[in-house]
Amino acid sequence: MARFLAAALFFTLACSPRVTTPVVVPGPAFLHHTIKFRGENLALIAKWYSGEASKWPLIREQNPHVDPMNLQLGQRLRIPLSLALRRDDMPETFFRSHRKRAVVSRAAVLPSNPSGGQPADAALPADASSEALPSEGESALIEGETFLSPTPAERMSVPPAEAAPQGSPAVRDRLIENLLPEK
């Protein structure tokens, strides 16, 4: 009888399911972000995912193939999971509320033409006609975009720094006139 019990116990143990440790397959250590808006930059992307724009170098490390100064629409970036406090895509409302704009007057976009040659509008590409320019006081430049001046820099006249003593009323008045918009 002892043999029979031993055989039955052996048979029961051999046929019972084994308890094993589950095999965990690690997922990727990053998530993907696709550039959807013109003007996105690594600092803005870092701010969206981590809450801190200063963490952009961590994104740069995960994307050595990317030129951070020239992000293209549709480009995919890796965002380290250790950085991400959120996993949802950046909404347009966040992008628009955080991008910085420089206010430029129409005169700064289209300088006068002192040479008497072709008008300043002719120096611009066809898609940058005067209808596409912002009206006075509207934003014209967006941080991260390239601004091409229709006037070559070598033809622009810049007064020397020593033209007036520092702190003179004339310099102060001229700076105030140039910085404050007309009412």
Q: Where are the domains of the chain?
A: 30-98, 100-111+126-149
CA 48 to chain centre: 11
Greater model confidence, 5 or 58: 58
Residues constituting the chain:
183
CATH of 30-98, one of 3.10.350.10, 2.40.110.10, 3.60.15.10, 3.30.1490.20: 3.10.350.10
- 137 within 8 A of 103, measured Cβ to Cβ: yes
**pLDDT tens, residue by residue, 92-138:** 999 988 875 433 434 444 444 455 555 444 444 444 444 444 445 44
Residue 59, C-beta contacts closer than 8 angstroms, at least 6 positions apart: 42, 45, 46, 77, 78, 79, 80, 83
**pLDDT tens, residue by residue, 15-71:** 767 667 777 767 678 999 999 999 999 999 999 999 999 999 999 999 999 999 999
Strand partners of residue 33? 77
**pLDDT tens, residue by residue, 56-98:** 999 999 999 999 999 999 999 999 998 899 999 999 999 988 8
d(CA 147, CA 153): 13
Strand, helix or coil for residue 137: coil
Q: What is the pLDDT of residue 103?
A: 37
